[in-house]
Amino acid sequence: MSDILTHIDAGVMTITFNRLDKKNSITSAMYGTMADAVDQARSDAAVRVVLIQGHETIFSAGNDIGDFLNNPPSSKEANVFRFLRSIAALEKPLVAAVAGPAVGIGTTLLFHCDLVYAGDNAAFSMPFVNLGLCPEAASSLLAPRMFGYHRAAEALMLGEPFYAEAAQEVGLVNRVVPPTEVNAMAQTQARKLAAKPLSSLIETKRLMKGAQAQEVLAQMDVEAASFGRMLSEPAAKEAFGAFMEKRKPDFSKL
């Protein structure tokens, strides 16, 4: 079975992470599949809303670290950046259902969603610093804007998980429900949107995003350049090596 499942029903394209044995971590190929699906959603009249979901125990462990090491995103055209630009620029509504851990891009992709529903077991984290890296997905712009600077600094610099209630408090999540209900709840809300006039939804989203839309794409490019450079620097090498060897990283000299 594919690591990314896509189906269209009642005007909703549902994209599901389906790699439970690796905690729904995302390979370059998976980013490519998702970017293509979002591009299809943009042009396909049968799709009015896109919904991204995981499993009731895990949304996503973020980048597949092994794949990342073997296949680092070396240019703006890398699948991961193509996927991020596709969701940031999607005119149609984007909804997410999150249960369990949402690590790295599992959290940062949510900044590009219009509605986010979370299971009460959701654990969000952006551990880029702990990996010797820097933020991506324009999270360095959007987290401070949404959370306030100090809360964003805590999330992005300490990189510790924050949970469903805190995520709702800072505005990342609309509603918290039991994990077994989150995908169904998000699907219900997505279908409600799909029944509305699409032109009004698109215009409303465009007006709400305003000038921020261009700023977000520009910030993604700036972040991608730093992220790409930092991937081959000693801190990231130590962090990823430690993950693969299942030991704690040692940053004492870095």
Would you tell me which residues interact with ligand COA (CB under 6 A)? 22-23, 25, 61-66, 101, 103-104, 127, 131
How many Å apart are CA 126 and CA 111, to the nearest integer? 12
How many Å apart are CA 34 and CA 229, to the nearest integer? 25
Nearer to ligand COA, 73 or 127 (CB): 127
Least Å from the CB of residue 15 to ligand COA = 19
Q: Which residue has the tokens 């009004």?
A: 200
Nearer to ligand COA, 103 or 109 (CB): 103
Least Å from the CB of residue 227 to ligand COA = 10
Nearer to ligand COA, 125 or 187 (CB): 125
Least Å from the CB of residue 196 to ligand COA = 35
Least Å from the CB of residue 236 to ligand COA = 10
Least Å from the CB of residue 44 to ligand COA = 30
Residue of 163, 152, 145 lying closest to 128 (CA atoms): 152
Nearer to ligand COA, 66 or 228 (CB): 66
Exposure of 214 by Cβ count < 10 A (0-12 exposed, 13-18 middle, 19+ buried)? exposed
Q: Name the phi and psi angles at 2, rounded to 5.
A: -70, 150
How many C-beta neighbours within 10 Å does residue 160 have? 12
Nearer to ligand COA, 11 or 132 (CB): 132
